[in-house]
Amino acid sequence: LGLEGISFLSPAAGPRQVKIVVFVPVDEAACVLLAMSAAGAGHIGLYDHCAYFGTGVGVFRPLPGARPAVGATGRIEHVPETRVEMIAPEAAVPAVIAAMREVHPYEEPACDVHPLVTAPAGGLGCLGTVAPMALPAFARQAAAAFKADARVSGRARGKIRKVAVVPGSGGSLLREAVRAGADALVTGEIRYHQMREAEHAGIAVVELGHDRSEMPAVGLLVNVIRTGLAAEGRSVPVGYYQEPPAGRPVAARR
């Protein structure tokens, strides 16, 4: 379609992660690191036991009834400590905290858990821009690009510039397209009530056919599968659909 500035229409967030920060006497930092790692913290890509150590001074005063590992009740203590920072999946936090407490020498370890904003790990549909043009011209251009017949519905408020694209049955992402300020949604097909919703929302819909809108992915998937099989040392033929010339039967290529 010649879109520029493409981004995901509906980004999918990666796994929810946190950063766990704990303060521990310098000589015990390695022990705490090992315990937290065994419980699921410190995995980044193809590395584990990932952590950051920073040094400083911990200050505290044990109150009556406390059982301090360092210092005496009623006296302010200054203790050299290591700040240990580790990444962990949100679901692993209880286990990581429990493992840390099991080996930490303090009665009340100082610990922080910070939620992290994770980068999108993919998404559904895309959003981009084209040179401003009238809806009929844009629909003709889309039909030609996909060798399809375009069915136009909805309501364009002006020229088409920002375009949302969802292959297959894309009506479920119509509202995301409206929120994103798209002038048109290009998809394979939508339902009747989604078509009427597009009219009320002031967005045009260009339907190209379920199969036509998904055909551009076939070649990409073939390459992914073949590359993966080759990397595993496997020789497996991969068949794929290829549109035949006019007047000839449908063919499957290998």
Q: What is the pLDDT of residues 16-42, one digit of tens each?
A: 899 999 999 999 999 999 999 999 999
The pLDDT mean for the chain works out to: 91
Q: Would you state the pLDDT for residue 245?
A: 53
Q: What six digits make up the tokens of 224?
A: 């992914």
Q: Would you state the pLDDT for residue 247?
A: 43
Q: Is residue 249 scored above 50 in pLDDT? A: no
Q: Is residue 252 scored above 70 in pLDDT? A: no
Q: Is residue 187 scored above 70 in pLDDT? A: yes
Instruction: Give whichever of 204-208, 215-219, 235-239 has the largest mean pLDDT.
Output: 204-208
Lowest mean pLDDT, pick from 65-69, 87-91, 126-130, 200-204: 65-69
At 127, which amino acid appears?
Answer: L
d(CA 83, CA 254): 58
Q: Are strands 151-154 and 204-207 parallel, antiparallel or unpaired?
A: antiparallel
Q: What six digits make up the tokens of 66?
A: 């406390």
**62 backbone dihedrals φ, ψ, rounded to 5°:** -65, 130
pLDDT in tens, 3-20: 999 999 998 877 889 999
- Identify the bridge partners of residue 55 per DSSP, sorted by sequence position: 82
Lowest mean pLDDT, pick from 107-111, 218-222, 240-244: 240-244
Q: In what order do the strands lie in the sheet with 160-169?
A: 4-13, 120-133, 160-169, 184-189, 204-207, 151-154
